[in-house]
Amino acid sequence: MAKLKLAAGVLLFQAAVNSYQSIKSPWVYLPFVALDLILALGVWKENRPAIKVALVYLGIDLFLAIFYLMAGVYLQGITAILDFLGVHNLIGYIMEQMREEGEEGS
């Protein structure tokens, strides 16, 4: 469980940021707060479908953060770094699980 603390922490941080932004427009940000919290719980409990969805979600968020960063929104650099760390953590966990399954199959 300690392996995915970083990815779960990134998702919880995004939930906190989105909940702060939901003060201005709740209909836009509140579904993302719920999604971030559900994914953080699923990643924390090492649920495979939640890990896959979180990987895609953080990957898309990283892609968009890089575009915003190129457009001059420098605060999106923080989001890009956090998303990169979360994606790296998830990919490392998936590779480790695949390696363990390969050893068991041999």
The confidence band for 26, taking pLDDT boundaries of 50, 70 and 90, is confident
Count of domains in the chain?
Answer: 1
Size of the chain in residues: 106
How large is the average pLDDT for residues 42-66? 96
The confidence band for 31, taking pLDDT boundaries of 50, 70 and 90, is very high
Instruction: Look at residue 1 and tell me whether its pLDDT is greater than 70.
Output: no
How large is the average pLDDT for residues 2-8? 88
**In terms of residue numbers, what domain contains 20?**
2-105
Instruction: Look at residue 102 and tell me whether its pLDDT is greater than 60.
Output: yes
Q: Residue 18: what are its φ and ψ, rounded to 5°?
A: -65, -35
N-terminal to C-terminal alpha carbon distance within the chain: 25
pTM of the model as a whole = 0.90
pLDDT at 45: 94
